[in-house]
Structure 1
Amino acid sequence: MNKALLIVPLIVVLLIVAISSLFIVDEREKALVLRFGRVVQVKEEPGLGVRVPIIDQVVRYDDRIISIDMAAQEVIPNDDRRLIVDAFARYRISDVERFRQATGAGGDQAIAIADNRLERILNAETRAVLGSVSSGDILSTDRDALMLRIRNGAIAQASGLGLTVIDVRLKRTDLPSQNLERTFLRMVSERQREAEDERARGREAALRITAQADRTVVELVSEAEREARIVEGEADARRNAVFAEAYGQDVEFFEFYRSLEAYREGLATGNARMVIAPPEEFFNYLRSPTGDAPRRASQ
């Protein structure tokens, strides 16, 4: 009877010791087993773990992806236009033993310490990367390369904390309020300069087109005048040929016709006056019905 009474408490004690020596690691966490503050076991896989009761301490760490919102900071790109940048990052505890050494704590306290130290690293990398490019590159929608440079620059330093930086994103990039008006005036000035350049190029193009049109007009007029002179010359030659042919067929009639033309031109109505002696040959056809008697008499 006395033995039974001793065995039952012993079994209970052994059961308690066995239960207290076991611990469970969830799939969302990692665990370290510490013995007098020194790491004696690293448990990264989910499942059941064993420790020495009372002596060993189990410290758990989050194995999920952790987000950190970085405080907005002012950066100065290489064109000296100040910008306010707001970013966030995502990281994971990759080396839990090194993370313990870097933070010296566990649980939420370790995460807070890691967030603070990682934010300083990311802020420095953000200023360095964004300070090497223009504000136009930062404000553009295609800035994935800049975020990748920030992440890659922070990876080496974050690994010393036992962390792996997964991603860095720029949420907001704005101008400081005191610079908005100056930036707006600069943008207006730049647009006015671009507009004046466009107008200058337009005036240059107009002058070039006008000069080409004037040249074309001169060439066309010159060519038309040349062709007109050629046609006029050909007409004069044709007229002279006709006159010569007519003169050869009937000399007397031709002279009579020419005299009539001279009378029409010389005696036309107007203010002109002619002083000619009547015996002149100009009046041959007026003195004689045929016009040949006076010439024969004079011969």
Structure 2
Amino acid sequence: MNRIIALVITIFIMMLVGSSMIFIVDQRKYAIVFSFGEVKKIISAPGLHLKAPPPFQNVVYMDKRIQTIDNLEADRYITSEKKNLLVDLFVKWRIIDPRKFYISVRSDASLAQDRLIQVICAALNEEFTKRTVSEVVSNEREIVMKAVRKKVERDASNLGIDIVDVRLRRVDLLENISESVYQRMKAERQQVANKQRSTGAAEAERIRADADKQREVVIANAYKKAQEIKGNGDAKAAAIYANAFGRDPKFYAFYKSLEAYRRSMGKGDIVITDPNSEFFRFMKNPAGLLATPTSKRSKH
């Protein structure tokens, strides 16, 4: 009976020792094997592994997933204009060197986050003091984050940590300076708008002046061409008239007199003149000859 009890106890002890020599590494974890406080082995591959039983060897696990620091309270930073800003941010990080991480913070994630927050706040404060509110809020926000991340990565690497991302979630102005900053930004935008308007007005005036100049040139050329055509037409008409009426001067004189009668006397017009004047010579004589004084006396 005693032998059976001793055998059971022996088997139980062997099972305990055997179970303490076997450990499982999850795919989301790192495993560090220690021997009397000294790091002996780091395991990142998931699966079943063996070690010496305690107290000869122990295992510490670390999370290899990306972790986020997003429970920070908004902190106050000062810009180059001595304006206060409330900044809310978040940080994503992960462990890449378990040995350094354990040596630096004894595998305490909360202690690592506190160290990261101190480094990030110092880097943000350094960058904000170089810039104005407008630059931080809009123009150079991405540049600020790249500079902060570069500085934090240098210090985080000493902790065995990789900084995946640093982002400003919100940047708020204090209430007592919000209005003044808004008015200044409004004035800057108004100045840009006025400059654009003046440039556009000058360009429009230049285009109008050029169009007017071209219009005057076109009109002058058209008038010159029209006058040349009209002059050529008048010259040809005069030549035709001269050629036609030169063949019969008496008929030409008779025709011109009829035109004069038509222009000077309309319906209902009254003309007071000497009937023996030269103007009416064709009415008294179809040949247009005026009677001489001698001929009149000979008739009497």
TM bracket (short chain) = 0.5 to 0.7
Deviation, 1:50, is: 1.1
- TM-score, normalization by structure 1: 0.67
2:155 is equivalent to residue 157 of structure 1: yes
Is the Cα–Cα contact under 8 Å of residues 33 and 59 in structure 1 kept in the other structure?
yes
Report the counterpart of residue 101 of structure 1 in structure 2: 103
Mapping of residues 127-166 of structure 1, within 5 Å: 127-128=125-126, 134-135=135-136, 136-137=138-139, 139=141, 143=142, 150-161=148-159, 163-166=160-163
State the SS of the aligned residue for 2:235. helix
Match of 2:50 in 1: 48
The correspondence of residues 117-136 of structure 1 with structure 2, limited to 5 A, is 117-128=115-126, 134-135=135-136, 136=138
**TM-score between the two structures when normalised by the length of structure 2:** 0.67
Distance in 2 separating the partners of 1:17 and 1:239: 135
Query: 2:69 is matched with which residue?
Result: 68
**Do residues 169 (structure 1) and 152 (structure 2) align?**
no
- Distance verdict in 2 for CA 1:126–1:271, change over 3 Å: farther
Q: 1:87 and 1:254, CA in 2 relative to 1: closer, same or farther beyond 3 A?
A: same
The runs of 5 or more residues in structure 2 that have no matched partner are 296-300
CA distance in 1, matches of 2:123, 2:153: 10
CA contact (8 A) 1:29 1:62 kept: yes
Q: Which moved more, 1:78-87 or 1:174-183?
A: 78-87
Residue 287 of structure 2 aligns with which residue? Answer: 290
Quote the RMSD (CA, aligned, Å): 4.7
* 3-state SS of paired residue (1:160): helix
Alignment of 1:1-299 (within 5 A): 11=10, 15=14, 18=17, 22=21, 24=23, 26-27=25-26, 28-33=29-34, 35=36, 38-39=37-38, 41-44=40-43, 47-51=49-53, 53=55, 58=58, 60-65=60-65, 66-69=67-70, 71=72, 72-74=74-76, 82=85, 84-92=87-95, 94-96=97-99, 98-103=100-105, 105=106, 110-128=108-126, 134-135=135-136, 136-137=138-139, 139=141, 143=142, 150-161=148-159, 163-170=160-167, 172-178=169-175, 179-261=177-259, 285=282, 288=285, 290-292=287-289, 294=291
Check whether the contact 1:284–1:292 (CA below 8 A) recurs between aligned residues: yes
CA contact (8 A) 1:70 1:119 kept: no
Report how many aligned residue pairs link the two structures: 281
Q: Percent identity?
A: 24
